């Protein structure tokens, strides 16, 4: 009975989110509410949780950007690379025992929430900001934040901009960003607050936004700081200097995984798999020392995490070695960070706010107990 009620509730959310274009920043996604209804009814008829569905399907359908530099980028050979892509692999390894059992689905910002609502993707890992309306109106459930980001602007030094420019300096500019994002709302708010008038143009994807910046059609582009750093690293033409400002972002953009509202068991998997990687870093469990750690240690939390003590994995509907498999995909949170977006990569992001809480940052997992 509770499942029927949950399904009806999810349907109502899906229908309202798809049917209106003005109630939230994210409701302009493609797809129709009838698609959502068909999928919901199928899931309800099976009486399965998404965990059962994914196990019997044998693959995880994971929504990503596909063009977010170092986060999820489609490669020439058809593979998907990056920090977000690796998290999809980590979840597949935890559930299915194979990091390769991921079907990556590239989604634009405007498409992403409908894809979760209709069940086209099981998990969304697409530089998506946790906001109240996405949680309580659009019908998403967010996992812990994987990357604490913030919105910034990027302009040309030759236009007089510098790293110390402010929003108050962009009056009269054509500012471009992607549709269906927090970004388009934030820049409008920030310009109004700074008392400057801007011409805001939105496009379906950030490739188009960046190309319009390169051609000069846009004076400034704006989005999550990490995406601007990536675009500058990859696309800044020789002889130009693109500058990112203001130094303190204009918004908070906590990015992380999300699932459809209403399947708590499935949400638990998304949440605790990420917490496993975070806890592994905190406790010094790495891909390199896993064999030693998984043989049993004198730290009871490591033993619970790696399944040599207790039955935390079984409580999730998984097995004792789920976290071990998740950590072995690309290492703990810090290892996944460094290999994809850290200082030695093209994007070269510092840990900053994304340091462990024990190191002055915000990365903090609840205990494994
Ligand atoms: N974090 C923001 C923005 C996410 C987003 O989709 N950003 C656009 C740029 S505005 C994008 O496509 N980024 C990936 C890329 O660089 O292509 C949100 O959740 O709304």
Query: For the residues of 127-163, what is the DSSP string, one character each?
Result: S-B--HHHHHTS-EEE---SEEE-EEEEEEGGGT--T
The residue nearest atom 6 of ligand 1, judged by CA position, is 109
Classified as helix, coil or strand, 34 is helix
Cα of 178 from ligand 1 centre, angstroms: 7
The pLDDT assigned to 47 comes to 58
Question: Is the Cα dihedral 140, 136, 127, 334 positive or negative?
Answer: negative
Ranges in the chain, pLDDT < 50:
1-45
- Tokens for 93, please give them: 């390894």
CATH 3.40.190.10 domain position(s) in the chain: 1-149+253-369, 151-251
Helix, strand, coil shares of the chain as percentages rounded to 5? 45, 15, 40
The pLDDT assigned to 48 comes to 75
Cα of 187 from ligand 1 centre, angstroms: 13
Question: Is the Cα dihedral 53, 55, 58, 63 positive or negative?
Answer: positive
pLDDT in tens, 157-195: 999 999 999 999 999 999 999 999 999 999 999 999 999
Query: CA 42, CA 318: separation in Å to the nearest integer?
Result: 24
Cis peptide bond prior to 246, omega within 30° of 0: yes
Total-model pTM: 0.89
| Beta carbons within 10 angstroms of residue 21's beta carbon | 9
The residue nearest atom 15 of ligand 1, judged by CA position, is 68
**Pick from 287, 327, 331, 330: nearest CA to 307:** 327
The residue nearest atom 16 of ligand 1, judged by CA position, is 68
- The number of the ligand 1 atom at minimal distance from the alpha carbon of 177 is 10
Query: CA 200, CA 277: separation in Å to the nearest integer?
Result: 39
Residue 248 DSSP label: S
- Tokens for 70, please give them: 């170092």
Q: Which CATH class is domain 1-149+253-369?
A: alpha beta
Q: Is the CB of 146 under 6 A from ligand 1?
A: no
The pLDDT assigned to 239 comes to 96
Probe target for ligand 1 pocket from 180, 182, 183, 210, with the most ligand atoms within 8 Å of CB: 183
Q: Is the CB of 345 under 6 A from ligand 1?
A: no
Residue 58 burial by CB count (10 A; 0-12/13-18/19+): exposed, middle or buried? exposed
Cα of 182 from ligand 1 centre, angstroms: 8
Q: Is the CB of 127 under 6 A from ligand 1?
A: yes
Q: Is the CB of 68 under 6 A from ligand 1?
A: yes
Cα of 172 from ligand 1 centre, angstroms: 24
Radius of gyration of the chain measured on its C-alpha atoms: 21
Cα of 71 from ligand 1 centre, angstroms: 11
The pLDDT assigned to 2 comes to 43
- Which positions ≥6 away from 45 have C-beta within 8 Å? none
Q: Please give the full DSSP string across 164-217, using - where no structure is assigned.
A: T--GGG-TT-EEEEETTSHHHHHHHHHHHHHT---EEEEESSHHHHHHHHHHTS
Cα of 126 from ligand 1 centre, angstroms: 8
CATH topology of domain 151-251: D-Maltodextrin-Binding Protein; domain 2 (3.40.190)
The pLDDT assigned to 163 comes to 98
């Amino acid at each position: 009975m509770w499942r029927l009620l949950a399904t009806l509730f999810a349907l109502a959310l899906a229908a309202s989110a798809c049917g209106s274009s003005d109630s939230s920043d994210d409701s302009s996604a493609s797809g129709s509410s009838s698609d959502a209804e068909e999928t919901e009814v199928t899931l309800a008829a099976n009486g399965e949780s998404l965990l059962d569905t994914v196990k019997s399907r044998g693959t995880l359908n994971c929504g990503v950007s596909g063009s977010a530099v170092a986060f999820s980028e489609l490669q020439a050979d058809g593979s998907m690379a990056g920090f977000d892509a690796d998290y999809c692999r980590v979840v597949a390894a935890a559930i299915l025992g194979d990091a390769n059992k991921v079907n990556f689905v590239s989604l634009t910002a405007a498409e992403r929430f409908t894809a979760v609502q209709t069940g086209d993707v099981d998990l969304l890992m697409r530089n998506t900001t946790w906001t109240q309306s996405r949680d309580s109106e659009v019908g998403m459930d967010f996992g812990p934040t994987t990357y604490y980001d913030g919105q910034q602007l990027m302009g040309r030094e030759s236009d007089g901009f510098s790293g110390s420019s402010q929003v108050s300096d962009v009056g009269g500019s054509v500012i471009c960003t992607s549709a269906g994002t927090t970004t388009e709302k934030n820049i409008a708010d920030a310009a109004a607050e700074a008392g400057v008038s801007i011409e805001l143009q939105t496009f379906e994807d950030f490739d188009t936004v960046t190309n319009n910046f390169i051609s000069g059609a846009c004076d400034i582009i704006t989005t999550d700081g990490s995406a601007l750093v990536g675009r500058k690293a990859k696309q800044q033409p020789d002889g130009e200097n693109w500058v990112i400002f203001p130094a303190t972002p204009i918004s908070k953009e906590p990015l992380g995984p999300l699932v459809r509202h209403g399947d708590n068991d499935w949400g638990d998997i998304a949440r605790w798999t990420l917490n496993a990687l975070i806890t592994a870093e905190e406790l010094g469990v790495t891909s390199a020392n896993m064999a030693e750690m998984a043989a049993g240690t004198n730290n009871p939390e490591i033993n619970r995490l790696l399944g040599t003590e207790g039955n935390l994995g079984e409580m999730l509907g998984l097995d004792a070695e789920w976290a071990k498999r998740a950590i072995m995909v690309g290492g703990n949170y810090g290892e996944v960070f460094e290999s994809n977006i850290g200082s030695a990569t093209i994007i070269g992001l510092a840990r900053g706010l994304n340091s462990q809480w024990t190191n002055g940052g915000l990365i903090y997992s609840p205990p494994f107990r």
